[in-house]
Amino acid sequence: MTMDQLFSILDPLLKLSLVIFMVGNLLDMGLRLKLQETLEGLRNVRFVVQSVLWGFVLCPALAYLLTKVIPLEQPYAIGMILLGMTPCAPFLPTMVDKARGDLAYAAAFMLLASVVTVVYMPLAVPVMVKGLSTDTWTIAKPLLAFVLVPLTIGMAIRRASAPVAIRLSPFVKKTTGIATIVMLVLCLVVYGKGFLGAVGSYAIGTQILFFLLATAASYWLSIGLKQDQKSVLALGMSTRNLGAAFAPLFAVADVDQRAIIMVALGVPLQTIASLLAARWFARRASTGEPGAALLKIIKN
C-alpha cells in the first residue's frame, strides 16, 4: 500500500473522529449545563464584555499581527489566524478546576464562546483570512451542525429531564474520550511528517508566542474581575476550539495541508500552555483566598 492510498483511508477517519470529538463535547456540555449557574456568569456584564472583547477582537487581532510580523508561509498564517478566532476548548472546565477557578463562569464562557463563534466566524473568516476561497454559508454550515445543534440538543434534554441527562452524560463522555484518543493518534500518523516539516518554519514559535501573550494579557489586563473569574477568562484564551478552527479548512476543497497542520499543532501546544497556566493560577488562588494559610496549617 502506497502512502497516498494510506492517506486516502486515514484522512476520512481523522475527520470522522474530529466530528465525534466536536459533537460529543458540545452535547456533553449541554447535558451537564446547569442553566441557573450559567446565567450567573452571563449576568456579569463586565465578564461578558471582556470575554467577547478578548475572544473575538483582541486575540484574532494578535494572531493576525503575528502573521504580519513573523515571516510565516501563507498556509501556516491561515491556520494561525483561524486558531486566533476560536477561543475555548471543550476541556476548559477541567483546566478551570485545576486552576481553582469559578466553574459556573467556565460554563457561562463556554456557552457564550460557542454561540458567538457560530455567528462570528462566517462573517470574519472571508475578511481576515486571505487565500481561503470560501463564502459565509460554507463556513456557517459545519459550525451550526457540529457546535450549535449538539449544544442545543444537550440543553433541551437537560431541561426536559435532568435524570435522563445525567444518565446519558457518562456514555457521551466515554464515547467522546475514545474519539479524542483516536483523533490524536490519527493526527500523528497523518500529519506527523508535516509536524516535523513545521520545525524551522516559525510555525511552532508563533503559536507559543500567541498562547503566552494571549494568556498573560487577558489575565493581567482584565478589569474588575475576581481572581477566579480572571483565570476562567485567561484559560478561555489559552485554549482553542480546534474543531471550529478546522471547520473552514475541511469545508473547502484543495486546502494546503500546512494550514491543517498549523491548526493540528494547537493540540499539544494549547494543552501544555493551559496546564502551565492553570497550575500558576491555582497557586495564586491558594495565596489569595481568605484564610488559605490557616486552612493549610490545619490540614498539615
Predicted pLDDT of residue 188:
83
Q: Which pLDDT tens digit goes with each residue over 155-180?
A: 999 989 999 999 999 999 899 889 88
pLDDT at 296 over 50: no
Q: Are 178 and 23 in contact (CB under 8 A)?
A: no
Identify the band that residue 221 occupies on the pLDDT scale cut at 50, 70 and 90.
very high
pLDDT at 61 over 80: yes
Residue at grid coordinates 463562569? 105
Identify the band that residue 1 occupies on the pLDDT scale cut at 50, 70 and 90.
low
Ordered by where they begin, the domains of the chain are: 12-287 (1.20.1530.20)
Q: Are 55 and 237 in contact (CB under 8 A)?
A: yes
Q: Which pLDDT tens digit goes with each residue over 232-262?
A: 999 999 999 988 898 888 877 778 889 989 9
Q: Which pLDDT tens digit goes with each residue over 75-85?
A: 999 999 999 99
Q: Which residues contact 249 (CB under 8 A, 6 or more apart)?
A: 78, 79, 82, 132, 255, 259, 260, 263
Dihedral angle computed from the Cα positions of residues 16, 17, 20 and 24, in that order, rounded to the nearest 10 degrees: -170
Q: How distant, in Å, are the alpha carbons of 90, 111, 225, 229 from that of 51? A: 16, 11, 11, 11
Q: Which residues contact 190 (CB under 8 A, 6 or more apart)?
A: 7, 10, 11, 14
Q: Are 116 and 244 in contact (CB under 8 A)?
A: no
DSSP 106: H
**DSSP secondary structure of 149-179:** HHHHHHHHHHHH-HHHHHHHHHHHHHHHHHH
Which grid coordinates belong to 204? 511552532
Per the model's pLDDT, the better-predicted residue between 79 and 139 turns out to be 79
The residues pairing with 87 across neighbouring beta strands, listed in sequence order, are 240
Predicted pLDDT of residue 161:
94
Count H helices, E strands: the chain? 16, 0
Which grid coordinates belong to 55? 475572544
